[in-house]
Amino acid sequence: MTLKQLRYMLAVAQYKSINEAAKKCFISQPSLSNAIKDLEEEIGLELFIRTAKGITLTAEGSEFLKYAQQVIEQAELLEQRYLDKKPAKQLCSISTQHYAFAVSAFVNMIKKSGADEYKFTLRETRTHEIIEDVKSFQSEIGILYLDSFNRNALQKILRENQLEFHPLFEAEPHIFVSVRNPLAAKQSVTLADLEDYPYLSFEQGEHNSFYFSEEILSTVFHKKSILVSDRATLFNLVIGLDGYTISTGVLSEELNGTDIVSVPLDVEDRMVIGWIANKKAGISRQAAAYIKELKAVIRTYGN
């Protein structure tokens, strides 16, 4: 097993094509194919599924790739330090529930990356998909919350999938409403105050269990309820219909403007927001940089 083979594998996984990867690596297609085949034979695993439509990683290949990325990253650090070599293209994938602070941290991470080339991915998606993304190594980091209601169920799922939850901060539930909503002027609101307003929440698709809800108090009945799939639509409906959603209370005026405000919700429940990672592999330097920016953004909001 050589660094060259690992770099070839990374290129094939990135471009999902032997021909395209060969061009980027400046070698012939047969030479690259043979290098990948030799690697697979040496480790006794099939790393890629080859079809007429292209090439994709197997489950074993996805896991192997994470270890290969760490080896390549460490080798590149040595080359940069002692051979004065230019940093390689940066890669990092994050999956998250719909949080403004996660986007703010992502923006800051990219601005500070210093990379001439990069390919970063940010997925705002459903809770089940976040877990699946991190489980399958499609994302290095996943961001979600635990509370007294979903903790046991989600932690069981995380354990079964070799995932670990790392707390970031504890949040008191807030509602997000339009600045023109009568509730916006209140110091805090109760569930009774919300009865006549449309409740907005993120749909969870076929995995629509209360445990996968992005909103705390998911079992509370609402007379008026609307499910949405993205944050922009939710905020448009908050403004257009005088609706509300329940979240952490952390808003970004820079990203979301000043038309939405956060009001404390008078309940005893608390949310613990954190990040999950796969126990089978460590996180990359870029993912660690993202976590650092998450903590910095959260400290800013805390002040």
pLDDT tens digit sequence for 133-149: 998 878 889 999 999 99
Tell whether 106 and 28 lie within a shared domain. Answer: no
Tell whether 18 and 72 lie within a shared domain. Answer: yes
pLDDT band at 279 (very low <50, low <70, confident <90, very high): confident
Tell whether 143 and 227 lie within a shared domain. Answer: no
pLDDT tens digit sequence for 150-200: 999 999 999 999 999 999 999 999 999 999 999 999 999 999 999 999 999
The answer to whether the beta carbons of residues 113 and 286 sit under 8 Å apart is yes
pLDDT over 90 (residue 209)? no
Tell whether 119 and 242 lie within a shared domain. Answer: no
pLDDT at 254: 73
pLDDT at 303: 47
pLDDT over 50 (residue 100)? yes
pLDDT tens digit sequence for 225-236: 999 999 999 999
pLDDT mean over 234-259: 87
Per-residue CA distances from 68 to 5, 133, 288 (Å): 10, 18, 17
**Domain limits for position 296:** 90-167+273-302
Tell whether 50 and 187 lie within a shared domain. Answer: no
CA dihedral 124, 128, 134, 140 (to 10 degrees): 20
The structure tokens listed for 216 are 């705390």
DSSP string for residues in 40-86: HHHHT---EEEETTEEEE-HHHHHHHHHHHHHHHHHHHHHHHHS-PP
The domain boundary, picked from 47, 82, 117, lies at 82
Residue 48's domain is classified under what CATH number?
Answer: 1.10.10.10
Tell whether 157 and 286 lie within a shared domain. Answer: yes
Total domain count, the chain? 3
Residue 283's domain is classified under what CATH number?
Answer: 3.40.190.10
Residue 220's domain is classified under what CATH number?
Answer: 3.40.190.290
pLDDT over 80 (residue 78)? no
pLDDT mean over 117-124: 87
User: What's CA 147's distance to the chain center, in Å?
Assistant: 19
